[in-house]
Structure 1
Amino acid sequence: MIGRTDTLSDGCGARAPSPRRARADRFAIGLERVLDALVGAMILVMAVTVCWQVVGRYVFDSAPGWSEELSRYLMIWVTMIGCAGVLRRGGHMSVTALLDRLPPAAASVLLWVRDICLVATLALLTWYGAQLSTMMGAQQTATLGISKGWIYAAIPVGATLTAFMLVLARIAGAPFRATEEGTEDVLHKE
C-alpha cells in the first residue's frame, strides 16, 4: 500500500518507495481518514437535523427555524472538506480521453501541468476565500446567530486542505489518477 504506483500511477512506471514517500503516503492516508470521519459526522448531524425539521413541520406543525440553516451550512463544509478527503484516492470526476492516449512521459507532463493549475486555483480560492470570510465576519446568521465568517471560512479551509493533499500525493508519487476500473476498485485495493 505504501509507495504503491499500480492504481494511482502517473504512467512513468513503478518506483521504489523512499522513506519520504512512505511517510507522505502514511500521513495522507491518516489525514484522509480524519477528514472522512469529520465529513461523516457532519453528514450524520445534517441527516438528524433534516429529519427533525420534517417531523417538526409535518407532525408537530412547527419546524425549528435553525434546522434548515444548520443543514445548509453543514452542506457547505461537507463539500469543501470532502473535496480534500477524496483527492488522494482519485475520487474526483475527470475526463481522461487525452491522457489515456498519450505516451507515459507526455502523460506525466500533462499531470504536472494539471497539478500546477490546480494549486494556482486553490491558492486563489484560499486568498479570496479568507478575504471574504473576514469581510463577512461582522454579519450574523438569521436563526443560529453565529458569524457568517465561520460559514465562508469553509472556502479557504477546504482549498488549503485540498492543496495540501495534492502536495502529499505528489510527494508520495501517486498523482491521484483513478484507473479504468473506477474509484470503487481503487478503494478496495488499499
Structure 2
Amino acid sequence: MPIRPTRSAAIAAAARRWSLRVNWVVERACVALLALLVLDVWLGVAVRYAIPLPLTFTEELARYLMIWMALLAVSSGVAHREHIGVEFLFARLPAPVRRWLAVAFDLCAFAFFAALFWYGIAFAERGFSRLTMIYAIPKGYPYLGVPLAAFLACVQLGLMIVHDWFAEAAPETVGAATPDAGRRLEGDA
C-alpha cells in the first residue's frame, strides 16, 4: 500500500509543481529571447562588415532583448534557489530555525520585488511619454520588463514560501535547490 503524504507535504509538493510550471514557461521565453538576441547581433555584424545595408535598429533591439532576458531569468533563479545566501551561518542552525529563517529570507525578497513591481509600473507608465531613438516607439514597452520580472519573482517567492513552510524537512542550505528541483514536469520528454 503506497504511503499517502501528509496534508502539509501535499501542499508543499503542489507549490513546488506550480513553481516548476511557471519556471518552465519563463525558461522557454528566455531561450526565445536569447535566440532572437543572437540572430539580431549576427545581423548587426553582417550589415556592418559584410552586407552594405542601412539597418540601424540592431543595437537598440539587442539592448532591449538582453534586458528583458536578464530580468525574466531572475524568477528562474528564485525557482531553483540560486540566490544569495549566508551558508556559513544558515547550515549550522537547527532545523526549526532554518525553516523560519528561510521563510524570513523569502519574505524579505518578496517585499523587495513587490516594491520593484509597484515602482516598475510607474516607471513604465512614465516611459510611454518618451520615444526610443531608432524605433520611435514608446519606451514604456521595453520598460514593462521591470514590473513583469518583479511580478514573476513575487509569484515564485510566494510559492517558495508555501513550499518552505509546509515541507516536511527544513531546508539544509539557504540557497539550495528544493529536493525535486531537478525533476521534470509530467509530460516533459
Same fold, TM exceeding 0.5?
yes
Find the counterpart in structure 2 of residue 98 from structure 1. Answer: 89
TM-score by length of 2: 0.80
Instruction: Give the partner amino acid of 1:17.
Output: A
* 2:76 aligned residue (72, 85, 98): 85
The DSSP-based 3-state class of the residue aligned with 1:85 is helix
The DSSP-based 3-state class of the residue aligned with 2:81 is coil
Find the counterpart in structure 1 of residue 67 from structure 2. Answer: 76
Match runs of 1:1-190 below 5 Å:
17-18=9-10, 20-62=11-53, 64-173=55-164, 177-179=174-176, 188=182
Find the counterpart in structure 1 of residue 3 from structure 2. Answer: none
Following the alignment from structure 2 to structure 1, what is the Cα–Cα distance between the partners of residues 38 and 26?
18
Instruction: Give the partner amino acid of 1:148.
Output: K
Question: Structure 2: any 5+ residue segments left out of the alignment?
Answer: 1-5, 185-189
Following the alignment from structure 1 to structure 2, what is the Cα–Cα distance between the partners of residues 95 and 144?
44
Find the counterpart in structure 2 of residue 5 from structure 1. Answer: none
Report deviation, 1:21: 3.3
Q: Per-residue CA shift, 1:116-137, capped at 9, x if unaligned?
A: 2111111110111111110111
**Which range moves more in the overlay, 74-83 or 108-117?**
108-117
Question: Structure 1: any 5+ residue segments left out of the alignment?
Answer: 1-13
Q: Compared with structure 1, are the counterparts of its residues 23 and 188 closer, same or farther at alpha carbon in structure 2 (3 Å cutoff)? A: closer
Q: Per-residue CA shift, 1:21-55, capped at 9, x if unaligned?
A: 33332222111111000010000000000011111
**CA root-mean-square deviation:** 2.5
Following the alignment from structure 1 to structure 2, what is the Cα–Cα distance between the partners of residues 140 and 31?
32
Report deviation, 1:82: 0.8
Instruction: Give the partner amino acid of 2:109.
Output: L
TM-score by length of 1: 0.79
Checking the alignment, whether the CA contact within 8 Å between 2:43 and 2:58 is kept in structure 1 is yes
**Which range moves more in the overlay, 139-148 or 61-70?**
61-70
Checking the alignment, whether the CA contact within 8 Å between 1:178 and 1:186 is kept in structure 2 is no
Q: Compared with structure 1, are the counterparts of its residues 65 and 41 closer, same or farther at alpha carbon in structure 2 (3 Å cutoff)? A: same
Report deviation, 1:64: 2.2
Report deviation, 1:187: 5.4
Report deviation, 1:111: 1.4
Instruction: Give the partner amino acid of 1:22.
Output: A
Q: Compared with structure 1, are the counterparts of its residues 15 and 100 closer, same or farther at alpha carbon in structure 2 (3 Å cutoff)? A: farther
